[in-house]
Amino acid sequence: MARSDAHDGDVVVAGGGHNGVTAAAYLVRAGRRVVVLERRHVVGGAAVTEELFPGFKYSVASYVVSLLRPEIIRDLELQRHGLEILPLESTFTPLPDGDYLMRWADHDLTRREIARHSPHDAEAYDEFGQLMLQMARAVKPILGMVPPDPGSLHPRELLRLGSLGRHMRNLGEKNLYALVKLLTMSAYDYLSRWFESEDAKLVLGFFAGGGGANSSLKTPGSAYMLARGIVRDGNTPAGPAGFMKGGMSTISEAIRRSGEAYGMEVHTGVPVERILVDDGRAVGIRLAGGEEICSKIVVANATARTVFTKLIEPSLLPEDFNRDIRNIRCESTVFRVNLVLKSLPDAPVFAQAAREDGVLSQMTIAPSVAYMERAHRIAQEGEIAAEPFLIVKVPSTVDPTLAPP
């Protein structure tokens, strides 16, 4: 691309990850002229599908649709542009005694499964489920708020602060205290308030320690992960969380098509080298080949550390700000392996569960909470555990487009 002033007064989005194209699609619908620049040959960032082996398509990074906001699905009309979610009905966890515990998307099925192991915990699951629904209703409005600056006296910030305060007050004292506990306690301690069985705590809390965040079931604050899936409203036309038909690129491409229908431009194979700054304002970008594009607004679809240490010259920023950016921690505990298999995983407990409960498209493998905690401690020391906990997904069991018969 040659130097172009055609975009003066428009928006340039540096990076075509799914967040970048989402922002671009909203901006172009709001009447802006928007250009998206992506260094790879495909948009989507972490939400991409690639053919790693001939005939086999993989969602190579993110692997399920679980936190895509229903508002985005509706606003961008993603179903018109190819979005189709295949529900993830259950998660299978084998137990050390040769039995297993299934967690279903259906509350009553999960309750029945827990009852096989502990009648007490099955009763507690009803109360726990009701509280999680209340906590989801408390959290959902906050996700759509612009966080207020509590140190600012600007009327806009005071209005935002007042709106947040009213929301918290309207929760009522009981739910407010429950929300504080959810946001501060560990998942293990939170679950222990209801459940006696260690197996129930393991299965219900698995993704608080095994969901990719650098935390464990016993890390303070990890209890929020228990409600995270419920916060994503499944009562929309898009349905509940699940596998994306055609792999995760289908989400990114649906967002791209939604924006392009309103005039959004997307250019792939275009690496952004620098965000141009003039008098404290971003005024455009410079590409790796030296070409420059001017713009009133620059949206950077990259981590804060990448933006402020690589795309913007650090000398333009206050040193205390640079120090804070350098100290952002964003480690994950996930190591990903993509496989081609001749058949489904084979073990007696798998066959038993498949006979009784159907297809096993997602499995979590960890014999105990203590096992997960040991693996997490080793990860904290920068090592890979010899005995890791596993999330095994077989999306081709529900989406035959991903692999040959």
Residues 134 and 279 occupy one common structural domain: no
Any domain includes 70: no
What is the pLDDT at residue 238?
Answer: 57
What is the pLDDT at residue 150?
Answer: 84
Residues 227 and 349 occupy one common structural domain: yes
Contact 270, 39 (CB under 8 A): yes
Distances (CA, A) of 219 to 128, 172, 194, 224, 368: 20, 27, 18, 11, 16
Q: Which helix (H) or strand (E) holds 231?
A: helix 224-231
What is the pLDDT at residue 6?
Answer: 36
Domain end, chosen from 326, 350, 378, is at 326
Q: Which helix (H) or strand (E) holds 123?
A: helix 119-143
Any domain includes 79: no
Residues 238 and 258 occupy one common structural domain: no
Residues 214 and 351 occupy one common structural domain: yes
The answer on pLDDT for 366 being more than 50 is yes
Residues 34 and 141 occupy one common structural domain: no
What is the pLDDT at residue 2?
Answer: 39
Contact 237, 228 (CB under 8 A): no
Domain end, chosen from 309, 326, 343, is at 326
CA pair distance 160, 7, nearest whole angstrom: 33
Tokens 């989402």, residue located: 22
What is the pLDDT at residue 345?
Answer: 75
Q: How many alpha carbons lie under 13 Å from residue 403 in its C-beta half-sphere?
A: 18
Instruction: Report the CATH number at residue 45.
Output: 3.50.50.60
pLDDT in tens, 183-213: 999 999 999 999 999 999 999 999 888 777 7
Any domain includes 78: no
The answer on pLDDT for 61 being more than 70 is yes
pLDDT in tens, 6-45: 344 589 999 999 999 999 999 999 999 999 999 999 999 9
Q: Mean pLDDT of all residues in the chain?
A: 88
Distances (CA, A) of 113 to 39, 145, 264, 369: 47, 38, 49, 19
**Residue 226 pLDDT level (bands cut at 50, 70, 90):** confident
Residues 215 and 356 occupy one common structural domain: yes
Range of the domain at 388: 86-243+332-402
Q: How would you classify residue 58: left for phi > 0, otherwise alpha for psi between -120 and 50, otherwise beta?
A: beta
Report yes or no on whether pTM surpasses 0.75: yes
Residues 306 and 337 occupy one common structural domain: no
Return all residues near 288 (Cβ < 8 A) that are at least 6 apart: 39, 271, 272, 273
What is the pLDDT at residue 233?
Answer: 57
CA pair distance 141, 165, nearest whole angstrom: 12
Structure tokens at 168: 């918290």
Residues 98 and 187 occupy one common structural domain: yes
Domain end, chosen from 326, 341, 360, is at 326
Please tell me the total count of domains within the chain.
2
